[in-house]
Amino acid sequence: MRCDNYCLRCGEPDESATHDIFECPPALQVWSLSATSTSPDIFPVPSIYANMDYLFWRKNNILGPELDRDPYPWLIWFIWKARNDKLFRGIDRDPLEIVRHAESECQACMGKAQLMGTRNHIRRESPFHLEVEVLRWAMENMLQHSTCQSFGTDCKELIAMIKEPRAWPSFATELESIETLQICFLDFKITYVPRTQNQISDSLAKIARSFHRDFYFIGCSIPVWLPRPPQL
Ligand SMILES: [Zn+2]
């Protein structure tokens, strides 16, 4: 009998992957807060095979696979990460945050959600220089992380500059880098989006500005360590 294999989070004597992902109380809390339907004796149960069978097959028979937007692969992954955060770094993750994070990552992979990012900048020559720099940063990131072709800005002058770069000689160098980047996009579009219609971007920008150190983030959801904007 092994005595060194108990769960460090709940004291259960036989720690296993099934236990960590489906049975340990913090994991159970995540499943019960998630959209995945749970019921006693069906899911979750103390068998990893039965649980995976339920998640992969049985549940789809009820729903139809094309309707399945259940983020269970992300839930499993984030439950596992939360376990490691607790054991190796002493960090407690809020179960509801885990569910939200898993859902938004899942949505992003289903192609519905937008990739979002924010960073703060050192001061540039003018606010317009900054707008061009921000667009360049966004385009570079989209090239690396997604197939996104459409960009939105609340700066009408930026759109004018991109349409007619020769008319803005003092921005020649900056606009040249945008032109070069555009070649990498098959269907590049930039449209005007008033600030009031893009509250996520606006609040991310405000949060980034409030940081005194360099700040850089890109992802499918607002990271849990960022203060959450009140309307979201
Ligand atoms: Zn446990």
How far is ligand 1, taken at its centre, from the CA of residue 76, in Å? 15
- Residue 179, Cβ density class (10 Å: 0-12 exposed, 13-18 middle, ≥19 buried): exposed
How far is ligand 1, taken at its centre, from the CA of residue 40, in Å? 18
Does the global pTM surpass 0.75? no
Read off the pLDDT band of 4 (50, 70, 90): low
| pLDDT tens digits, 88-133 | 899 999 999 999 988 887 777 665 445 556 666 556 678 888 888 8
Q: Which residues form the domain of 21?
A: 17-109
Looking at the fold, whether 123 and 74 belong to one and the same domain comes out as no
Number of separate domains in the chain: 2
Looking at the fold, whether 94 and 146 belong to one and the same domain comes out as no
How far is ligand 1, taken at its centre, from the CA of residue 20, in Å? 6
| Residue ending a domain, choose from 84, 109, 134 | 109
Looking at the fold, whether 49 and 97 belong to one and the same domain comes out as yes
Angle at 152 between CA 149 and CA 154, to 5 degrees: 165
The answer to whether residue 4 sits within a structural domain is: no
Instruction: Return the amino acid letter for 63.
Output: L
The answer to whether residue 150 sits within a structural domain is: yes
Looking at the fold, whether 123 and 213 belong to one and the same domain comes out as yes
How far is ligand 1, taken at its centre, from the CA of residue 81, in Å? 14
How far is ligand 1, taken at its centre, from the CA of residue 221, in Å? 28
| Residue ending a domain, choose from 75, 92, 109 | 109
For residue 71, what are its two tokens? 């983020």
| Residue ending a domain, choose from 85, 109, 133 | 109
Q: How far apart are CA 143 and CA 181, in angstroms?
A: 9
How far is ligand 1, taken at its centre, from the CA of residue 66, in Å? 34
| pLDDT tens digits, 51-90 | 888 887 776 565 555 455 677 878 888 898 899 899 889 9
Looking at the fold, whether 48 and 79 belong to one and the same domain comes out as yes
Bigger pLDDT: 188 or 14? Answer: 188
Gyration radius from the chain CA atoms = 23
The answer to whether residue 6 sits within a structural domain is: no
How far is ligand 1, taken at its centre, from the CA of residue 53, in Å? 22
